[in-house]
Amino acid sequence: MSPEMTEIFEVHQEPVLRDPVLVVSLEGWVDAGLGATTAIASLLGHGPTETIVTFNGEHFLDQRARRPVSRIVNGVTTELTWPRTVVRQGADADGRDMLFLIGPEPDFHWRSFTDAVVGLARSWRVRMVVGLGAFPAPAPHTRPVRLAATAPQESAHLIEQVGIVQGELEVPAGVLAALELAFGAAGTPAVSLWARVPHYVAGMPFPEASAALIEGLAAVAGLTLGSSALRRAADSSRRQVDQLIADNSEHLAMVRKLEESIDASEGNAMGVEAVPSGDEIAAELERFLRGEEQ
CATH at 127: 3.40.50.10900
Backbone angle region of 40, left / alpha / beta, with phi > 0 → left and psi within -120 to 50 → alpha:
alpha
Residues composing the chain = 294
pLDDT digits 0-9 by tens, 196-247: 999 999 999 999 999 999 999 999 999 999 999 999 999 999 999 998 888 8
Q: Report the relative pairing of strands 147-150 and 21-27 from DSSP bridges.
A: unpaired
Determine the structural domain holding residue 224 and report its residue range: 4-293
pLDDT digits 0-9 by tens, 125-181: 999 999 999 999 989 999 999 999 999 999 999 998 888 877 887 888 999 999 999
d(C-alpha 92, C-alpha 225), whole Å = 6
Q: Under a CB-based contact definition with an 8 Å cutoff, are residues 289 and 282 in contact?
A: no
Eight-state DSSP code of residue 1:
-
pLDDT of residue 266: 63
pLDDT of residue 268: 44
What is the Cα Rg of the chain in Å?
20
pLDDT of residue 169: 78
pLDDT of residue 172: 83
pLDDT of residue 211: 98
**Total domains in the fold of the chain:** 1
pLDDT band for position 7 (50/70/90)? confident
Q: Under a CB-based contact definition with an 8 Å cutoff, are residues 130 and 216 in contact?
A: no
pLDDT digits 0-9 by tens, 47-67: 899 999 999 999 999 999 999
Q: 3-class DSSP state for residue 179? A: helix
- φ/ψ of residue 103, rounded to 5: 115, -170
pLDDT digits 0-9 by tens, 77-112: 999 999 999 999 999 999 999 999 999 999 999 999
